[in-house]
């Protein structure tokens, strides 16, 4: 018995190739879990994690400063003087104005 070899038309081969290219491109570029989106999400995640780390450090610093302001009177006085310009009765305050830059003097 001889096998009957059927010859497929050329367009069928191109359909298979096109389907394969489509599936591979979907997996790598366009799909919801594609390599491209996964890479972009990893990059975004790294940015957010570094932002969270910076905010945690800032939060810890503010928490320490808050504790010092509550417990240490010298720190509270220093902060009141520096930030709010408060003075004790009878004190003189000197304010220094920055010198004008050479560009501003010529105008």
Domain ranges of the chain: 10-106
**Is residue 1's pLDDT more than 60?**
no
Quick one: residue 90, left, alpha or beta (phi over 0 = left, psi -120 to 50 = alpha)?
Answer: left
In angstroms, the CA 21 to CA 14 distance is 10
Per-residue pLDDT tens digits for 43-73? 999 999 999 999 999 999 999 999 999 999 9
Report the mean per-residue pLDDT for the chain: 88
Comparing 57 with 90, which gets the higher pLDDT? 57
What residue has token string 């417990």?
71
pLDDT of amino acid 51? 98
pLDDT value at residue 2: 64
Question: Which band of pLDDT confidence, cut at 50, 70 and 90, is reported for residue 14?
Answer: very high
């Amino acid at each position: 018995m001889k096998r009957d070899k059927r010859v497929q038309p050329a367009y069928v081969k191109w359909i298979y190739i096109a389907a394969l290219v489509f599936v591979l491109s979907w997996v790598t570029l366009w799909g919801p879990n594609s390599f491209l989106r996964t890479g972009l999400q990893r990059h975004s995640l790294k940015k957010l994690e570094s932002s969270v780390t910076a905010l945690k450090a800032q939060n810890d610093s503010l928490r320490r400063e808050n504790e010092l302001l509550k417990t240490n009177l010298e720190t509270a006085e220093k902060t009141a003087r520096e930030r709010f310009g408060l003075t004790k009765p009878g004190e003189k305050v000197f304010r220094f104005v920055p010198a004008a830059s050479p560009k501003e003097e010529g105008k």
